[in-house]
Amino acid sequence: MATDVQVPALGESITEATLGEWLKQPGDAVGRDEPIASLETDKVAVEVPSPVAGTLDEQMVAVGDTIEVGAIIARIAEGAGGKKAAPKEAAAPPPPPAAPADSAAQPLTLSPAVRRAVLEHGLDPSKIAGTGKDGRLTKDDVLAAAKAQKAEAHAPSMERAEPAPSAPAAAAPGERREERVRMTRLRQTIASRLKEAQNTAALLTTFNDVDMTEVMEARKKYKELFEKKHGIRLGFMGFFVKAACLALRDVPSVNAQIDGDEIVYHDYVDVSVAVSAPNGLVVPVIRSADQMSFAEIELAIADFGKRAKDGTLSMDEMRGGTFTVSNGGVFGSLLSTPIINPPQSAVLGMHRIEQRPVVLPDGSIAARPMMYLALSYDHRLIDGREAVTALVRMKEALEDPMRLLIDL
């Protein structure tokens, strides 16, 4: 008896997805609720579980196909009645150990990023131990294998082992190569939304800089006690989210949005936090951040970061949001003009901290840990005075964190 596997409901307003990867191949045994395929939606990757235990009998769609909710993508033969993998001939020679990653004989399913890394480093993916789900290769696995191979090649040895069979030939000097990789649905959505923001909103960015001395002193003084009590490290984002909440309360238009010919004001602050994921940037939402403690904010951000890397964030967790905080400083950015996340009207861009000479109130000059802040906003709704006022409120709260505690 065969059971159809259908595309599950993917969330409100999402009607289709792209098949990103088959996790099981025809003939493979599968357990009930075991993932057999990964779908890419506009926001996250979603795994499709098998509704029954049995054997994957047939794949109905190919990787890269766009499929609608409810469509049949595979059939599972219950019990042992599924299609079996073809038996190997006793005298059949093993496949070449260094077959290219995209060879038709290669049984591994590699993501575009992993395939690119394999080709760049000339590695045999079948000889790399995968640490991903169900033993799948990740880009980090490939990079670690390349690093180990390089270290081994440079290590002194009295007796050198016979060289391994050659990997796919590297590009000859002067040779120019190209590779075309289909954009993921997530990347297409990011591109579309960013362009939509530029085409629709009247974008403007205002800048300021903040002396991070007091925040850094507070973290240094309390980090051990904070971690001991709450089980999480006291980071910078908690300070910035709290400072943003304080500023948005004083300047509510920065926390509002345009809906047709109306302005929607919110009496809560749902902060979208930009998090780097393997397939692009995602923005999970900290609900009612204005009502949360430092520890609750830090725990939420740490959880989002981990699950973004694992690909387990849900679409509901990325829906909504009234204001965004994006930290380009973790990648070394000194200054940028972030683009708002529609229908939101503003986004705060954080940047790297660096020692710069600063003139102090007494006229002396000292080196201080400074960070540039950028607030991009929709000028249709937010006037320059309001944007600058909100950014100054954040600067004041960060330079004197006591304001965050006594609600100033």
> What's the confidence (pLDDT) of residue 62?
87
Which range (20-34, 152-166, 183-197, 278-292) has the least confidence? 152-166
Rounded to 5°, the CA angle 84-89-93 comes to 125
86: pLDDT strictly greater than 90? no
Bridge partners (DSSP) of residue 323 are 271
Residue-wise burial string across 295-331, b where 16 or more C-beta atoms lie within 10 A, e elsewhere: bbbbbbbeebbebbeebebebebbeebbbbbbbbbee
Residues 6+ apart with CB under 8 A from 320: 270, 285, 287
Active-site pick, 121, 230, 266, 379: 379
Q: Which domains does the chain have, with CATH numbers?
A: 2-78 (2.40.50.100), 112-154 (4.10.320.10), 200-405 (3.30.559.10)
Whether 254 and 345 have beta carbons less than 8 Å apart is answered as yes
> What's the confidence (pLDDT) of residue 402?
87
- Torsion angles phi and psi, residue 37, rounded to 5: -155, 160
Q: Tell me, yes or no, if 270 is annotated catalytic.
A: no
Rounded to 5°, the CA angle 364-353-191 comes to 140
> What's the confidence (pLDDT) of residue 175?
82
Query: What type of residue sits at position 401?
Result: P
Instruction: Give this prediction's pTM.
Output: 0.64
> What's the confidence (pLDDT) of residue 131?
80
Average pLDDT for residues 368-385, to the nearest whole number? 96
Average pLDDT for residues 104-110, to the nearest whole number? 49
245-297 per-position pLDDT tens digit = 999 999 999 999 999 999 999 999 999 998 877 666 788 999 999 999 999 99
4-42 per-position pLDDT tens digit = 898 888 766 677 888 888 888 888 898 888 888 888 776
Q: Tell me, yes or no, if 379 is annotated catalytic.
A: yes
Other Cβ atoms within 10 Å of 107 Cβ, number = 10
106: pLDDT strictly greater than 90? no
Confidence of residue 85 (pLDDT cuts 50, 70, 90): very low
pLDDT above 70 as % of the chain: 81
Which residue matches tokens 């507070």? Answer: 218
Q: Which helix (H) or strand (E) holds 36?
A: strand 35-40
Active-site pick, 33, 65, 140, 383: 383
> What's the confidence (pLDDT) of residue 160?
47
Whether 299 and 348 have beta carbons less than 8 Å apart is answered as no
